[in-house]
Amino acid sequence: MNPRVAMLAHSTLPRGGVVHAMNLSEALTALGAETVLHAPDASGAGFFRESLCETRAFPVAPAPRNVADMVEARIAEYVAWLRRAENRGFDVYHAHDGLSGAALAQCRREGVISGFVRTVHHIDAFADPRLDAWQAQSIAQADALMTVSELWRRRLREDFGRDAVISGNGVDLAKFSPVLNGRERALRERWRLGDGPVFLAVGGVEARKNTHAMLAAFDLLLGELPQARFVVAGGASLLDHGAYAQEFHAALAAMGERAQQVVVTGPLADADMPALYRLADALVFASVKEGFGLCVLEAMASGVPVVVSRLAPFTEYLDEAEALFCDPFDPASIASSMAAALLDDGGRARRLATAARHSWRAVAERTLALYARLRSPAHA
């Protein structure tokens, strides 16, 4: 008998862990496991897109400006939400981040729940010890761990002495594909993308996304490709990236007139993302810390060449025939790979095949197998 699952995310925003949690919840529902996705809803707008599974976005108070104070408040609000009768009695509680995981750890200590699962997408190093403590609790006190790549499985062993099941990641091939859907022209006009090559970065302006180095690489390319555009899409986040964003925008201003070739969109409607991938000549994702990199699969499913860092986790699931690798700490290396991406040698079929190997159904099947082990009499 399939379990009733409470899936927990830290917010309703389209961040990687939230996107993973929603797609996994939908895939579990399709396999017959009643799954409800929970998240605090600071804006009152609900989740970033409609879902095929049940969702419960609960209202929360305005966030304090300090990040740690905000997380502390959100944990308390999550615990209060989970104490409510309608949110009790799930067979499995499954968190996808330190915030919701810390809330489940507190609920377990209070006897509100008997245990929980935590998926670790990546581990952060925080300046505030409270954030580190909550992250550690969410990992150390979980009954079982999942993670999206071998890189973070090793880190969990090294840092916490815990093993984890690798769930992997998936991509929706019906949503992300090379087939035009009619939104492309409006997006091209909205962002004045012109007729030159378009390089797309997804995830907004953040240090771990390495956005500043990618901007420097684009600036190097403009001498040879003066009509090119660099689009930095997304950026919804609970964390404060203000200092890094200031450095990025200072570098952008220093480009003078060339800065007009750069578009920083901010958060986008989920429905715009498939068309935006198709407008791109290449995805540039020279990230220096990533759990897996969902946008890489989304771009590949759209037929778009991808430039990625020669670092794990990218080196775990991609090879030279599928992606263009770069040194993320060297803008010249990033620029070289960006230029090479424009010389597509017929690699679209390989990219589509790579994306097709990663299904949400497979992620859901691995997850159900873990749930079954946890619920077995031998585990109890």
Helix (H) or strand (E) holding 18: helix 16-30
Q: Which CATH class is domain 5-170+359-375?
A: alpha beta
The pLDDT of residue 2 is: 87
Rg (CA), the chain: 21
The pLDDT of residue 186 is: 93
Helix (H) or strand (E) holding 184: helix 184-190
The pLDDT of residue 236 is: 58
Segment 324-329 long-range contacts (CB within 8 Å, at least 24 positions apart): 324/282, 326/286, 328/210, 328/213, 328/286, 328/287, 328/288, 329/213, 329/288
Exposed (0-12), middle (13-18) or buried (19+): which is 261, by Cβ within 10 Å?
buried
103-151 pLDDT, tens per residue? 999 999 999 999 999 999 999 989 899 999 999 999 999 999 999 999 9
Fold topology of 184-356? Rossmann fold (3.40.50)
Q: Residue 36: what are its φ and ψ, rounded to 5°?
A: -120, 125
Closest CA to 120 of 90, 100, 106, 103: 100
The dihedral over CA atoms of 44, 265, 170, 343, expressed in degrees to the nearest 10, equals: 170
* pTM summary value: 0.93
Measured distance CA(58)–CA(164) in Å, rounded: 30
What are the mean pLDDT values of the chain's consecutive 10-residue runs (380 residues total)? 94 92 98 98 94 97 89 97 96 97 98 97 92 97 97 97 97 95 92 93 91 96 95 72 84 93 91 96 96 95 97 95 96 97 86 95 98 75
The pLDDT of residue 290 is: 93
Q: Are 160 and 139 in contact (CB under 8 A)?
A: yes
Please list the residue range(s) of the chain that carry CATH number 3.40.50.2000: 5-170+359-375, 184-356
The pLDDT of residue 16 is: 87
Name the DSSP class of 2: P
